[in-house]
């Protein structure tokens, strides 16, 4: 056994938690290995090389297109790759990442390109597409249900192993920060995905960055608490609105609505924050909380 491979259950010995470098912190993430199916490849190149020397990896299920979950794809050239069709284009065209992160032609674009070069990100040919509620038979008594959970990305998926009730939630990571700053992110979809997951009997949740959470009751509470982060952001943003003075997205710039404190990556965080605030505006407009007036929005 290697130290970053952790069996999750004494009963289901061929399901292993794969701990990513830096404890799964960006630009890495955790993975799950079920038989010869690996879910996500962002554990780091060093760890993935070690892993594939000991464990057969014939199939990779990708939860979504983001680089911290897909950077090891190039190290598995003879492996079949699966992804949801809504994320297929990007994983096959990694040069489009800048556009979908909303940073094209911005000062931050060079930084992301530098990171992508460091991760040696390459296009991945997708062999099979995933569908919501699809069952993939792994063998050895394991069956994986695909749960399409859009919001973080359009094609984001979770994976429920039906016999053990162990579920990989990927970037529904149940931390204290929720990210939906991609052009393909959708806040209403994100909330519906959290509600959808709450309907499943999940005994063990494995997330892309936090790790393992045990117990159905605890997991449902964590999903609810995670959703409450969105509601608290709703309240902060709505507090700037009135029934008379139109509010624009740009009016909320540099107010630390999403990021409590900007870090050394401030330029990117401000762009990401503006995109996420836009997602809240879109949600409010869709459900009728706000309406357009002039070049801004007022409370309905």
CA nearest to 14, candidates 2, 32, 30: 32
Confidence of residue 107 (pLDDT cuts 50, 70, 90): confident
Work out the average pLDDT over 35-57.
Answer: 97
* pLDDT at residue 118 is higher than 70: yes
Query: Mean of the pLDDT values across residues 240-269?
Result: 94
Place of tokens 């069709």: 85
Place 159 in a pLDDT band, splitting at 50, 70 and 90: very high
Per-residue pLDDT band at 265 (split at 50, 70, 90): confident
Q: How much is the pTM? A: 0.96
Per-residue pLDDT, 111 = 84
Overall average pLDDT of the 210-228 stretch: 97
Percent with pLDDT over 90 in the chain:
94
**Model pLDDT, residue 191:** 98
- Give the start-to-end residue ranges of the domains of the chain: 5-229, 241-299
Which pLDDT score, from 0 to 100, does residue 174 have?
98
Under 8 Å CB-to-CB from 163, ≥6 apart: which residues?
A: 12, 141, 142, 143
- Least confident range of 106-115, 176-185, 226-235: 106-115
Q: What is the DSSP letter of 257?
A: S
Q: What is the mean pLDDT of residues 18-30?
A: 97
pLDDT in tens, 56-104: 999 999 999 999 999 999 999 999 999 999 999 999 999 999 999 999 9
Q: Is the pLDDT of residue 1 over 70?
A: no
For residue 42, pLDDT over 70 is answered with: yes
Label residue 115 by pLDDT band (50, 70, 90).
confident
End-to-end distance of the chain based on CA atoms, in angstroms? 60
Q: Which CATH class is domain 5-229?
A: alpha beta
Q: What is the pLDDT of residue 264?
A: 86
d(CA 271, CA 242): 25
Whole-angstrom distance, CA of residue 101 vs CA of residue 151: 14
For residue 67, the number of C-alpha atoms closer than 13 Å in the C-beta half-sphere is 22
pLDDT for position 33: 98
Q: How confident is the model at residue 199 (pLDDT cuts 50, 70, 90)?
A: very high
Checking if the pLDDT of 112 tops 90, the result is: no
């Amino acid at each position: 056994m290697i130290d970053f491979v952790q069996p999750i259950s004494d009963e289901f010995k061929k399901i292993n938690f794969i701990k990513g470098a830096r404890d799964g912190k960006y630009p890495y993430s955790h993975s799950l290995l079920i038989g010869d199916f690996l879910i996500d490849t962002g554990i780091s190149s060093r760890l993935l090389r070690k892993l594939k020397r000991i464990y057969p990896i014939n199939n990779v299920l990708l939860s979504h297109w983001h680089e911290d979950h897909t950077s090891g794809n190039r190290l598995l050239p003879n492996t079949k790759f699966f992804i949801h069709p809504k994320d297929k284009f990007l994983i096959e065209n990694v040069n489009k990442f800048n556009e979908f992160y909303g940073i094209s032609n911005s000062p931050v674009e060079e930084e992301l390109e530098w990171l992508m070069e460091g991760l040696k990100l390459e296009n991945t040919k997708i062999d099979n597409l995933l569908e919501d509620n699809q069952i993939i038979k792994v063998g050895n008594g394991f069956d994986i249900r695909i749960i399409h959970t859009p919001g973080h990305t359009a094609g984001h998926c979770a994976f429920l192993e039906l016999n053990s009730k162990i579920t990989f939630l990927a970037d529904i990571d149940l931390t204290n920060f929720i990210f939906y700053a991609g052009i393909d992110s959708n806040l209403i979809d994100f909330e519906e995905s959290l509600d959808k997951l709450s309907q499943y009997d999940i005994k063990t949740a494995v997330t892309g960055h936090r790790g393992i959470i045990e117990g159905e009751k605890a997991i449902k509470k964590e999903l609810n608490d995670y959703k409450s982060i969105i509601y608290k952001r709703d309240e902060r943003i709505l507090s700037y609105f009135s029934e008379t003075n139109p509010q624009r997205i740009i009016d909320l710039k540099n107010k630390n609505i999403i990021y409590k404190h900007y870090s050394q990556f401030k330029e990117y965080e401000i762009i990401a924050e503006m995109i996420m605030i836009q997602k809240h505006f879109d949600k409010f407009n869709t459900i009728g909380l706000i309406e357009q007036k002039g070049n801004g929005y007022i409370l309905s």
